[in-house]
Homo-oligomer: A and B are copies of this chain.
Amino acid sequence: MRAITASRAQELTIGRLSELTGVNIETIRYYERTKVLPAPARTASGRRLYQSADVRTLAFLRRARELGFSLDEIRALLRLGGPEKASCREVRRIATHHLDDIRAKISDLRKLERLLAKTVARCTGTTAPDCPVLDILDIQGRN
């Protein structure tokens, strides 16, 4: 029977939580809908009531997103950090897998970069009959 009166002690509105974490209000609600975040308590009138611990969780979530973790991965990480904070091994597995993804992406992008850079360099910028940029894109350029 706590929180008859709202916004006591450490309790936060969604707007305040948004400010504190830099996560959009709509996004917070989206995280709740998709079960990345647990549904918080509500006031008598139905407004969401967050605890200060939620700031920590949401900040974690935000940072993980910035690091490119998917919401599925984050759901898993949050479960692991939760009550049965068991296997660091599992956390490591997720992070390592993600690291592999990142490395593959970097390698792809660098190949692209080299190809594009080389091509743009050949480009005079004038109205030439044949454009090297269009050429590499063309079927001839297949490798």
A121-140 contacts to B, CB under 8 A, are 123-128, 131, 133-134, 136-139
**A125: which B residues are within 8 A, CB to CB?**
88-89, 92
Q: Which residue of B lies closest to A64 (CB)?
A: B137
Other A-B contacts than A60-B139, A81-B131, 20 sampled, CB-CB below 8 A, are A60-B137, A63-B136, A63-B141, A67-B116, A67-B137, A68-B109, A68-B112, A77-B137, A87-B127, A88-B123, A88-B134, A89-B127, A91-B123, A91-B134, A92-B123, A92-B131, A99-B113, A99-B120, A102-B116, A103-B113
A41 lies within 8 A of chain B by Cβ: no
Task: Report the bound CA distance from A46 to B133 in whole Å.
Answer: 36
- Smallest beta-carbon distance A134→chain B, Å: 5
